[in-house]
Structure 1
Amino acid sequence: MTTTGLAGRSVIVTGAGSGIGRATALAFAAEGARVVVADLNPEGAAAVVAEIEAAGGTAVSVTGDLSEQSVVDRVAATAVERFGGVDVLVNNAGIMDRMSAVAEVSDAEWERVIRVNLTAPFLLARAVLPHMLAAGRGAIVNTASEASLRGSAAGAAYTASKHGVAGLTKSLAVMYRDQGIRTNAIAPGGTKTAITVDAEAGAHGPATLGAYMGNVGRPAEAAEQAAAIVFLASDAASNINGVILPVDNGWAAV
């Protein structure tokens, strides 16, 4: 019997078509939650829904660019229409930058990374909050990063975006704690996923950051990140709010 209190809950997981998001969607479904699998890639989202259903779970996919308000609205509406509300929002979708230092960052790189990594979680939180407030409860879990804790884990755009996610997490935690809504974040270190970095050869940013990567330690499995997300969303974490939890094999402690 589950002890998480997640059975029957309505859960949105973004970036759920692969990597940490996929592992998280599967983990929630295994706890008996009903999952909205949101992803940019239709094939990946459909595959995860099929995997959940094959195991006896319940899921539905919504695809599109989560930096667009219309897609965000569709994600929230799907959870409400199919599953009766929104109990948990996992803002996991994100993209890497090119490890660029500030002087090397193009407008396009900056704006895209900030839009996907920071603006989209804000838009999704804003969209689901009315439903959580009406229910008097809810949990939001954001995927921050080791780059939300330090300046040596990624380029300027990604680092700024993930520091912003940490700030958004803490603001949500304070603003809505008296309405029964908790917001926390994980800060993953190195993790085995398909995410890639298109770093420019010889650029100052990647060359500088390389000196700090020896402290990463053992890369995590996506399922290890998912386990932390599920815990923070569960009733077992009922008094945990506003936490940025490193899941990084001690990298943050170095």
Structure 2
Amino acid sequence: MHNENSIVVVTGAGSGIGRASCIKLAQNGAKIVAVDFNQTTGEETLSLIQEHGGEGIFVQADVAKNEDVERYVLLAVETYGRIDAFLNNAGVLQKFSMLSDITEGEYDRIMNVNVKGVFLGLKHVLKVMEKQGFGSIINTASTAGIRAEHSLAAYSASKHAVIGLTKAAALEYVKKGIRVNAICPGGVDTTLTQSVPLMIQETGYVPEEIPNMRMNRYADPSELAEMVVFLASNKSSYMTGSIVVVDGGLTL
């Protein structure tokens, strides 16, 4: 990605890290293909991109459906001719519970979006990037991808899987001009983390251990977006298969 006029696809673009990254990438001259399951928030992100002087398109998609993923990738190529960078970011948070209390439905929901969604995004975007001979992919994992988080067994498993996919893709495509890295946020002020107090209130279940925010605050999504912009650009040209922790010391 040469920053100016680069084409970047972002999933989970409707909120949090996805939205903040769309805005920051657009401010750096990128054209954005914003993908989200939620049409309303996705279109709001597109408006914010345009307000910041950027341009892009919005595509409504369920990242766990192969045909939806094929569609957003096809629309990106039809609209802009290529994909320079891909923020494979859409994810959902598990309801807190002990492992033996996780329902099969809840397990499937988490794995579908967080693992299958990331896999399908990789599968289809890699095909495009392989033809081009270049590209940078950033997968959103989590600190729960490098250690367990209490009461989040399925979520932790899903994010460990994202790291496995990241390393595998990085290894397989390293000679094809494609870089694949992952970011591990830990405690970011997003709609995903904002749902936590409500979830605890609704279920009455409180995890034995709550993550320790050593900086005494959550990250602002824009702080993660800075890392995304760096990994999407040529400034990170020698990085692939890197698992970059951006967690304010959470995992120390």
Match of 1:42 among 14, 39, 44: 39
Select 2:91's aligned residue among 89, 94, 114: 94
2:236 aligned partner: 237
Code of the aligned partner of 1:223: S
Tell me whether 1:207 sits opposite 2:204 in the alignment: no
Query: CA 1:17/1:202 → structure 2, altered by over 3 Å: closer, same or farther?
Result: closer
For residue 26 of structure 1, the aligned residue among 23, 27, 41 is 23
Within 1, Cα distance between the matches of 2:166 and 2:207? 31
- How far apart, in 1, do the equivalents of 2:49 and 2:228 lie? 18
How many residue pairs end up in the alignment?
246
Superposed CA deviations along residues 68-116 of structure 1, whole A, max 9, x for unmatched, are 1111011101110001011111111100001222201100100000000
The 5 A counterparts of 1:73-152 are: 73-152=70-149
User: Displacement of 1:41 after TM fit?
Assistant: 1.0
* 2:192 counterpart of 1:192: no
Shift of residue 57, structure 1, vs aligned partner: 1.2
Q: Which residue identity lines up with residue 214 of structure 1 in the other structure?
A: N
* Per-residue deviation, 1:144: 0.4
Residues 72, 127 of structure 1: 8 Å contact kept: yes
Q: Structure 1 residues 154 and 221 mapped into 2: Cα distance closer, same or farther (>3 Å)?
A: farther
> Deviation of residue 52 (structure 1)?
1.4
Which residues of structure 1 form unaligned runs of 5+? none
Contact kept in structure 1, 2:11 and 2:87, CA below 8 Å: yes
Cα distance between partner residues in 1 of 2:86 and 2:151: 25
Consecutive unaligned residues in structure 2, runs of 5 or more:
none
Offset, 1:250 = 1.4
Distance (whole Å) between structure 2 residues aligned to residue 55 and residue 148 of structure 1: 33
Post-superposition CA distance 1:204-226 (Å, at most 9, x none)? xx43233xx23554310000011
Cα deviations by residue, 1:167-189 (Å, 9 ceiling, x for unpaired)? 11001111100000000011001
TM-score relative to the length of structure 1:
0.92
Alignment check: 8 A CA contact 1:146 1:153 kept: no
The secondary structure found in structure 2 opposite 1:128 is: helix
Does the 8 Å CA contact 2:33/2:59 hold for their aligned counterparts?
yes
Percent of aligned pairs sharing the same letter: 39
Mapped partners of 2:178, 2:119: distance in 1: 15
